Structure 1
């Protein structure tokens, strides 16, 4: 009996925004996905901040990371591709979402949960000097920087409603004893929409906290020194935030959707005027049951929206969203105290804060404690050694999926010598020199098993990775063919994917001076992207064999991508660390290669790890290597993951290069397979300082000398702390 072929993907479901509703949908989707649906999430960052804990963070009760809903982990759990970019528009006829800095994302069904902003666009100077309270992530970062700055300066909050008052109380608690004051400024009467008993309690708290309340104030402008009122009075502040109400994201005005006060109008099914687009959370206006902007409605909408999205892509029946009429409001008071109100009822005290804290932490645990989904069982009966060949964990993507160095060398050793005099082999390198007329071309080919599901990010990584062989030999990229294996997709999805890949590939390659001249595509089990490249050499190519004892070794990128990506596959890496790794993997090394153009030997650091690739240089050059562990930079999170024993699937074979070295986190990362890694060059020692300065000036801040070539046995690697 043959194993069943992977099911084709036939519908694109796109979640725009990583708000609370969509985060809950991702968790639920991972527990019960709908076969045939390609799920995509679009959000500017790898994490989204939970609004309920923001005042506690401002007050100092929660760390910044406590607020983060990790979209990278949730997307991996859900089997969704995460597109990191800001949505900036819709093309309804084409059914595409325009995303900053990348090709548009097509959809069959989409959902908007993009939140709101507290930007005050009509207030002069706010854009330059103010900090909107929403979106929460940028606000939290700016607040942290303000608190950490030991210069004197006050804080000011524009808007004395519930949200602004809660924020001001949190700020006052955090700044107590510092001599820095908090101003709360309101154009009308403070807390005018709040029941009187609650209002009096909050005003008493404002007075007790030493907050300076200014009511009936018309603000003329914001500048670098604070607020200027229409009367000419100045309110000094170095941190100014706006909490005077929720405003819709500006691009919705150009979306073509029906809006109410700028918010997406939806019916009881949460459908917009364009039936293939749904909306929930603060960006939505519920025509059938208008409600104020509150996180409770986003949470309550999640199961209804999930059901209706599944229905819209082909399964089930629609449900109606019936939001509750009122809800419990828990308002923190700066210190670990809070007030709770619903209708005419009010409670307060430290126990209410503990109650709120428990509710918030349980919500975050729901999105962070992701159950381990069991792998599919192996067939029985089966051939011997199948379990051993499968390994203890899923195969890594990128260079973690390469064949090991020793295995590859054994196979290559069986090839006969070259018989053409116009093909010049380069011992130890992954490329060859072709002589055509008077020109010398470098020819190389590389491809990667997908390590991320976003085809644009994967294409950028694969292109930079393939260019590494051209750059490391001192050649200028010339032409490329694209080699693709696509998973089984319906024709519409295949066309969308091909468009994204080719547009991304053209952008990367053309920026480096190369043109796409053709390619090949086929259908398989999973996405694989590769490039065959040529480059022109105006002078002798840089090979592995030119290193000399005493040469300084310069590395241009941090290492550790294999470890971070292995942890990400196991839901064990922080989304921010994964995002940092992907960003560096897409960084071009073209300028670095030109700076290092006079190197004696150079290679790109990829699947065999830093130690493996330096071994290639040392063996070809007849030298040893001494590495300085303290000088080698690591990707964020990589060292701590290595210390916990996280390893890529290729690590055991890479480790065979130097089995006698101690098994420490720093040493382990020397054998970590890198995808689109940096360049490592052996240069004349007298040139090292100058070259490092040029690299830093050109945008390679992590470039460092990490050791030197020695007169030890060829290929021997020694390390020092």
Structure 2
């Protein structure tokens, strides 16, 4: 019998920089059993800086320069925590995130990059942005350029900093603006007497290239403040600018100063093994690190070259083996984009220029990104040569069992078992079998009791706990009750006591926040160990008038509070096919409580939460209990971004076929129609409301920022669903 290997150490990668991305790639190909890997990053993607000028110039799309950390982490077997690190205690071995969450580690590594923000300049935070972090700059530039295309006119652009990065981005923006509007007004501001003061060799060639692009150079430009009109120089002159970008050198993240780590000009000191000075369980790499044994300028080439050494040393530290040294090269080929598809190269003091260098740079960049876009297919354990009858058919195409509601048994399995049980004769049991929860009449009040659990579909225990809490609360909300008390049931995979304590603290802390926000309280629970993490909650609630499935009336309008598509997106994410941004956006929505929406819908005639049986299955439950039919307007049903695209390529959840069989919908065809049977986790509330109140209710829901929509109506006839 194969023994499950327990998790005993936490490896935390702080930041999704180039070095860490390569470490994750290597980890997926050579995992270390017993280690739980976590990557912390503010966004679900990490932009590749080498392609940023090309993106700004319009040569690459945003997707083409971004490393999908969600997909990469799935490949590596790691969890992703989306948050910005703002603190680190190397003695306690903890990382603090901006939202207050604290993550413990046994071994950790920093790769948080640098910033181009200039907080020392008055008005910078209000009227300018840094070129790094790249995601903020790229989004701002995309909006700016789109406005220029729409109007045919763009306000002037000011670039602060005449180093290589400032020169590249000034030419890239000028090129894009000329292409969009036919002209560009870009000014490059340099405090020194000449641009490229740190690397003067290609200065004359780059000055000519700037002139060709129409970029104005202002040397000796000391900035006293950034105003709404543009940067004000020490001379009093204002450089007109509708967009001001800071690219004045590589600045460290300011929060590192509060960590107690040994720093050089704000950068973390590391030794030849990439260990942080004074702390053998903490490593650092990339632009945030200062190589004390071999100081080098901030350049992506060193981050890439450090990755194999960091990977080996992290593994060595986790298994107790000696570490090896990182010896960076002394010089490297510098390739500088010139706005158009041309580039300049410099090495050993020699200069080359031309379109052929752009092609070379493009090949190098594309080769780097292809490592993450085309992740290798790792071999799976072969099945035994002899199997019991039916095993092959049950395995089907080999798709792994989905998490969340996609992992549950089919629609008919539980209902079929319940039908064999004797009917309750208790007068205080109000609801019959098949409703969302049990309703008990206690004196003049009604108590609602529900229980639900989810198999993990994300490696982040806190996020999983939040979503499970919202999911379990759905039955309470959909029956018009106020949540009261909660019992938790947690199954953890086999792990050491220290990891158990860390994981349980994350789960209970995150769940408690959700329940407290909605007026409920965790009062107890049970825990055990199993093959995979599973979280469940049993919840009680009080209702003056329970809302059941049975109250829908002909003419009622159907309102849905949340998009559908979680099942297909979660299945696609497990298969490495989903877009990380789409997954992250969906998970964030799933973790949001729906108590305020439930309050608005408290006068509904019938209501349910859309979960495992899909939108069609849960709507049919209302129709059967109310003895009515329903019409759906497919185009009006909100869906999560990326869900239709995944449906189009054939991705589906493991219980999709069962849902389709038990809740068919007439006149439903196409990829979006398939999502009617997609099992939902923490899905929206589906309510049948009086038609005269529908518009007002919808307006109130949309004022909360919800994607609520009127998706159909209740009609006379048998409990049949159809699209119109």
Fold shared by both chains (TM-score > 0.5)? yes
| Structure 2 SS opposite 1:348 | strand
Unaligned runs of 5+ in 2: none
Unaligned runs of 5+ in 1: none
Work out whether residues 428 and 620 of structure 1, in 8 Å CA contact, stay in contact via their aligned partners in 2. no
Work out whether residues 30 and 77 of structure 1, in 8 Å CA contact, stay in contact via their aligned partners in 2. yes
Measured in 1, the distance between the counterparts of 2:222 and 2:199 equals: 24
Measured in 2, the distance between the counterparts of 1:182 and 1:152 equals: 10
Measured in 2, the distance between the counterparts of 1:196 and 1:45 equals: 36
Number of aligned residues: 715
Offset, 1:259: 0.9
| Structure 2 SS opposite 1:235 | coil
Measured in 2, the distance between the counterparts of 1:195 and 1:430 equals: 68
Q: Does 1:262 align with 2:258?
A: no
Measured in 1, the distance between the counterparts of 2:227 and 2:337 equals: 30
Aligned counterpart for 1:49 among listed residues 47, 71, 74: 47
Measured in 1, the distance between the counterparts of 2:702 and 2:431 equals: 34
Measured in 1, the distance between the counterparts of 2:161 and 2:198 equals: 14
Q: Does 1:613 align with 2:618?
A: yes
Measured in 2, the distance between the counterparts of 1:200 and 1:214 equals: 15
Work out whether residues 436 and 608 of structure 2, in 8 Å CA contact, stay in contact via their aligned partners in 1. no
Match of residue 498 from structure 1:
504
Measured in 1, the distance between the counterparts of 2:460 and 2:390 equals: 34
Match of residue 569 from structure 1:
574
Deviations 1:254-292 (A, max 9, x none): 112111111110000000022111000000000000000
Match of residue 547 from structure 1:
552
Aligned counterpart for 2:143 among listed residues 138, 145, 162: 145
Deviates more, 1:607-616 or 1:58-67: 58-67
| Structure 1 SS opposite 2:714 | strand
Q: Does 1:578 align with 2:580?
A: no
Aligned counterpart for 1:219 among listed residues 220, 223, 244: 223
| Structure 1 SS opposite 2:573 | helix
Work out whether residues 551 and 606 of structure 2, in 8 Å CA contact, stay in contact via their aligned partners in 1. yes
Q: Does 1:40 align with 2:38?
A: yes
Give 1:91-110 correspondences, 5 Å limit: 91-101=89-99, 103-110=101-108
Aligned counterpart for 2:68 among listed residues 67, 70, 87: 70
Offset, 1:396: 0.2
Measured in 2, the distance between the counterparts of 1:663 and 1:376 equals: 38
Measured in 2, the distance between the counterparts of 1:649 and 1:186 equals: 59
Match of residue 698 from structure 1:
704
Measured in 2, the distance between the counterparts of 1:288 and 1:195 equals: 22
Measured in 1, the distance between the counterparts of 2:425 and 2:31 equals: 55
Aligned counterpart for 2:286 among listed residues 281, 285, 290: 281
| Structure 1 SS opposite 2:559 | strand
Aligned counterpart for 1:509 among listed residues 498, 515, 521: 515
Aligned counterpart for 1:395 among listed residues 395, 401, 409: 401
User: How well do the aligned residues superpose, as a CA RMSD in angstroms?
Assistant: 1.3
Measured in 2, the distance between the counterparts of 1:21 and 1:619 equals: 57
Flag the 1:614–1:270 CA change in 2: closer, same or farther, 3 A. Answer: same
Offset, 1:588: 1.3
Deviations 1:98-140 (A, max 9, x none): 1122531110000000000001010000011111011111110
Offset, 1:437: 4.3
Measured in 1, the distance between the counterparts of 2:59 and 2:261 equals: 41
Measured in 2, the distance between the counterparts of 1:175 and 1:440 equals: 65
Match of residue 162 from structure 1:
164
Work out whether residues 307 and 316 of structure 1, in 8 Å CA contact, stay in contact via their aligned partners in 2. no
Deviations 1:211-261 (A, max 9, x none): 111100111111221111111101000110111111111111111211111
Measured in 1, the distance between the counterparts of 2:90 and 2:684 equals: 41
Measured in 2, the distance between the counterparts of 1:437 and 1:554 equals: 32
| Structure 1 SS opposite 2:275 | coil
Measured in 1, the distance between the counterparts of 2:597 and 2:75 equals: 37
Match of residue 445 from structure 1:
451
Give 1:101-250 correspondences, 5 Å limit: 101=99, 103-150=101-148, 152-176=154-178, 177-193=181-197, 196-250=200-254
| Structure 2 SS opposite 1:353 | helix
Work out whether residues 666 and 721 of structure 2, in 8 Å CA contact, stay in contact via their aligned partners in 1. no
Deviations 1:22-58 (A, max 9, x none): 0001111001100100011000111010000000011
Measured in 1, the distance between the counterparts of 2:352 and 2:493 equals: 57
Match of residue 86 from structure 1:
84
Measured in 2, the distance between the counterparts of 1:189 and 1:357 equals: 33
Offset, 1:196: 4.9
Work out whether residues 103 and 503 of structure 1, in 8 Å CA contact, stay in contact via their aligned partners in 2. no
Offset, 1:192: 4.1
Work out whether residues 418 and 433 of structure 2, in 8 Å CA contact, stay in contact via their aligned partners in 1. no
Work out whether residues 418 and 425 of structure 1, in 8 Å CA contact, stay in contact via their aligned partners in 2. no
Measured in 2, the distance between the counterparts of 1:706 and 1:602 equals: 14
Offset, 1:712: 2.2
Give 1:387-466 correspondences, 5 Å limit: 387-392=392-397, 393-466=399-472
Offset, 1:660: 5.7
Measured in 1, the distance between the counterparts of 2:445 and 2:714 equals: 32
Match of residue 529 from structure 1:
535
Work out whether residues 164 and 196 of structure 2, in 8 Å CA contact, stay in contact via their aligned partners in 1. no
